[in-house]
Amino acid sequence: MKTKDVETDVGSTDLASYILAVTEQLKRERKFAAAHGYVSALHSFQDFAGGRGIPLPMDEVFTPMRLKAYEEWLMQKKKRPLKMNSVTSYMSSLRAVYNRWMPVGTPGHNPQLFAGVHTRVVSQTKRALRGWQMEKLLRAENDDLTREERRALAYFRLMFLCRGIPFIDLAHLRRQDLQGEYLVYLRHKTQKPMRVKLSPEALRLLRGLGQKTTPSSLYLLPILDAEIQDGWEQYLSYQIALRNFNRTLKQAVKRMLPGVPVSSYTARHTWATLAYHMGQSIGIISQSLGHSSIRVTETYLKPFENERIDEVNRQLIAAVKKGKWKGSMLYSIL
């Protein structure tokens, strides 16, 4: 049953009180990611406005000039200027708050209010490793790494070996999901059923990491605390685990591949792009990753289209220069 939307008082509602009321509703609906995004945007805007205790009337917050000033503040922060997609995340959350407070069609709703700021995700530069880089991480010795770094690297390797399994799915694997030489689970994001045959290396990694899990835990791996039952607290616990994983992984990889950026997304994107360059169809890659549609997979691969075209061009030129075109269909066409 859908919870009734938070009552609105157009023109007088304070941003903080409104967002906090909305997030409580979202928590009851188990929409934890949205609630987290709203609270993060609130805290960020409060910092921009001068502090957490300053009143922020909604009709003063949601003006083109105020929103543009906030966006510029995000991009020019002295200590830590944000990347464009982080800026987009905050602005999108504020737009969602505005549309709740002043729904489309309501007298006073401004459909162009956010036209001057970024609310769309910008296509990222590639987040995948090259084949030789991934091979180095798979084969690297771990003697000079800390225990935490070795474990983070092991998770990263496992994510790649398991067809690019996302970190959130890895963290939420249950003991019963390991069935012989298969992982059988539901994707956390889409609830799509997945069945992944494990290579001997992946199986060894999984069993070795699983030995660190307490016997009473429902989880297969020691990433999340099974004692936390509250849904919101579980969500926050996962966010902490994700941040710790990303930080530790970067420290580990920095020693082997200096200057190469990595994150929890890298193993998944690397699996997809290497499969793409090997000639696998987008449909097969999409099914392997458990995407909801081929369009999602195409967004992964779009940054690599030109690279693949350039490689085809290089191979064609090399073949012609070496005379390999003679006797081929190309010869008859020419």
Partners of 57 in the β-ladder: 14
Residue 75 lies in a domain: yes
**Number of domains within the chain:** 2
Helix (H) or strand (E) holding 179: strand 178-179
Give pLDDT, residue 310. Answer: 76
pLDDT on residue 127: 77
> Any idea what DSSP says for residue 194?
E
pLDDT on residue 213: 85
Residues 232 and 295 in one domain: yes
From CA 9, how far away is CA 15, in angstroms rounded? 11
pLDDT along the chain (334 residues), means of 10: 50 85 93 93 94 90 95 81 82 94 91 89 69 92 88 96 95 95 92 93 92 88 90 93 96 93 92 86 87 79 71 76 58 44
Q: Can you give the three-state secondary structure of 42-108, one letter per residue?
A: HHHHHHHHCCCCCCCEHHHHCCHHHHHHHHHHHHCCCCCCCCHHHHHHHHHHHHHHHHHHCCCCCCC
Identify the CATH number of the domain in which residue 166 sits.
Answer: 1.10.443.10
- Same domain, residue pair 159 and 292: yes
- Which amino acid appears at position 330 of this protein? L
Instruction: Give the residue numbers spanning the domain of 41.
Output: 15-101
Residue 145: φ, ψ to 5°: -100, 155
* Same-domain status, 228 and 266: yes
Specify whether 35 is located in the same domain as 138: no
Q: Is residue 311 in a domain?
A: no
pLDDT for res 314: 81
| Tokens standing for residue 36 | 């987290």
93 and 236 belong to one structural domain = no
Q: What is the pTM of this model?
A: 0.80
pLDDT given at position 53: 84
Same-domain check for residues 175 and 301 = yes
